[in-house]
Structure 1
Amino acid sequence: MASSLIAGAVSLLLIIIAGYVIATGILMVAETTVYTQMDVSYNQELIKQTDISMDYSWDSGTLSLNVFNNGSTSFTSKDFLNMDLFTYDSVNKTRRYSKANCDPFNVTTASDIINKGMWDPSEVLLVNISLTQKPTWAKFVTPNGVTATASVI
């Protein structure tokens, strides 16, 4: 009689511990899923709020781009490291330039009015790059994937 009582108590304790472990695992997975969905939604909202356009000038080996922030997204100085410029010309074909790994890629904000060191809405970003060949087109890409393209004729 005592052994069946002990076996029942141990069985009940094992069921409670197993339920706790399973519930904790499910809650952890659910929490991770919720945070991931929130991050994806936030990034999609930033993409929707980002709108850029650009114009260019070519002067003796220097391509100068004026990139206009027409949306409502601000970019920090860390974001400048993740901005890319792609150019295409008949000699070098497509080339990628990034502030993170290319010295001639100089980014400065022309009208830094509100938050110094950030690229805020309605501000202009000046991008200068030294090139040996005049490109046919240039594409500027923000860190969240929004692009602006200009035909350099």
Structure 2
Amino acid sequence: MDILVDATYREEDIAPLPLVELATFVLQKVGKPENTEVSISFVDDEEIARLNEQYRGKVGPTDVLSFECDNDPMPEEAFAPGVEPVYELGDIVIAVDVAERQTAIYGTTFEREITILTIHGLLHLCGYDHVTDELAAIMEPLEDDLLAQWEASRS
């Protein structure tokens, strides 16, 4: 797995978190191949609001956005001989300040809120959604289960 983390915004809060390990854990649990690539960026309210309006037509900040890249790995012919194809799953953008505000609302820690948003974003990249009750009935228990498994693996 190739997990790219851009923690330029609030690096002091984000850098200590085990995000590469978390993303690898989740992607392995949902059966993604080892050549999967994902990027996770951490931004301020202004940037997430801009992206939210540009891509979803919604005004104001949100907590996490996911942008899918591929449904299939790039063909082997696109790479030099001996170089393994990359499965570019997509990009996740997390609003650090929104996450921090949500800790007070949900009574969680900052690390747990970032963990929840990362899992949520990864599941969206893997094709899960919650736009209908039927889809939410699949995604939300999986999200809870992955969070519980991750937390159990860390204790």
Normalised-by-shorter TM-score class: under 0.3
Q: Larger strand proportion, structure 1 or 2?
A: 1
Q: Which structure is larger by alpha-carbon Rg, 1 or 2?
A: 1
TM score, norm. by length of structure 2: 0.24
TM score, norm. by length of structure 1: 0.25
Q: Larger helix proportion, structure 1 or 2?
A: 2
